[in-house]
Amino acid sequence: MADPSTSPPLTRASVIAAHALIRPFVHHTPTITNATLSGMASGAVPLPSLPSSSTSSLGEGKAKPKMRLWFKCENLQRVGAFKARGAFHAVERLKREPGWEANGGREKGVVTHSSGNHAQALALAARESRIPAHIVMPSISAAPKIAATRGYGARVVFSGSTSVEREAVTADVIAATGARLVPPYDHPDIVLGQGTLGLEMQDDVRASMLSPSSPSASASGGGGSKGGPTWVPATEPGVPSTKLERVRAGARPALDAILAPCGGGGMLSGVALSCEGTGTRVYGCEPAFAGADDAGRGYEAGVRVERVSSLTIADGLRTPVGVVPWGIIYERRLVAGFHAVTEDQIRGAMRLVYERLKMVVEPSAVVGLAVALYDEGFRAMVEREAGEEGWDVGIVFSGGNVSLDALGGLFGEGK
């Protein structure tokens, strides 16, 4: 990886610079809305029932906030996830490091250890820069993910499933090849790259609100081309004229809050940087299952949780928060707080996206929607602070890489 000391400062301006750097390589994914899901979040449309052990409806005595939901569709990003942004930014920054090419960097290539989206993202970024990629993957990794990583031209090296085993094999690859490590989240260049989705989301929602004649995005999200966003007219989510006037005058942000998934924290911290100084609050969203809410627990205790052992269905969020993201999330307090949801609530949100938006998303991608629909702490806060005008809430759909076999298990009989 590039020496972190040479990375740009972790600021909103640096996220803007990162966006300019990676724009030729990534999709400007659509930001869409849906009246039914906004109605469910606002209590105007009944929620489908969940198992009795979970919050299943917005019943008597529960919060009834007004929310207009906006979805950033990174499931339509290259490699099917936001990880492409960080990988391309890290590789482009590495290529610009003084002496990198003269010292054989192009021939030595890059290496990482990952069983999921970062593996595919780095493989693609390396292929487009015509440099080798060595990807250490646990031998138990899903066959489609292994095939996809190889399909992007990477050399896959297998390891055991524990972090110690993965890191040991990665060290062996580095010793043998001289390849540079590109970590999945714990590096400033990764954080800045991931934060670019937050910039796009803010810009798209504001432009949508103020350009009611803009073409409407379909409920399915349309294409994820590099040519620019697809906007939803302001009339669909029903943004109050009083808010539109203040947004137009620059006195209020278009988005009142963004709900983003948190695993290692690279994307959450990047989005928080993209919102710094704008007035838009950023909240981290996690599974509650078996300690997977490590970031929220650490945030409350003031100490980063360094180990997580959870088999939550949101498999992309089983990772503890990294040191670099923690500095942004907690030490700089750029994240306003955390909320956690149950496995049934994640399934419920995922089902709604499939049935109402007709979009393929993975469990990790819908924790933000589950918070907006089911988490009474978040909902009560919005009701209290937003009042009759309501809030516009951005939700990051972080990825869509889920196999058909896994979907069958998630939504099989009794689920």
Domains of the chain: 12-82+190-410 (3.40.50.1100), 84-187 (3.40.50.1100)
With beta carbons less than 8 A apart as the criterion, state whether 312 and 174 touch.
no
Q: Token pair of 41, please?
A: 């979040």
**Could you read off the pLDDT of 74-86 as tens digits, one per residue?**
999 999 999 999 9
**Could you read off the pLDDT of 133-183 as tens digits, one per residue?**
999 998 888 888 899 999 999 999 999 877 788 889 999 999 999 999 999
- Please say if the pLDDT value at position 215 is more than 50: no
Distance of alpha carbon 136 from alpha carbon 341, whole angstroms: 31
With beta carbons less than 8 A apart as the criterion, state whether 249 and 58 touch.
no
Distance of alpha carbon 56 from alpha carbon 48, whole angstroms: 7
- Please say if the pLDDT value at position 59 is more than 70: no
**Could you read off the pLDDT of 386-407 as tens digits, one per residue?**
999 999 999 999 999 988 888 8
Predicted local confidence at residue 229, as pLDDT = 42
Q: How confident is the model at residue 68 (pLDDT cuts 50, 70, 90)?
A: very high
State the chain's mean pLDDT as an integer. 90
Higher per-residue pLDDT: 235 or 103: 103
Give the number of other Cβ atoms within 10 Å of residue 184's Cβ: 24
Q: How confident is the model at residue 217 (pLDDT cuts 50, 70, 90)?
A: very low
Q: How many CA atoms lie less than 13 Å away from 230 in the CB half-sphere?
A: 20
- The whole-model pTM stands at 0.91
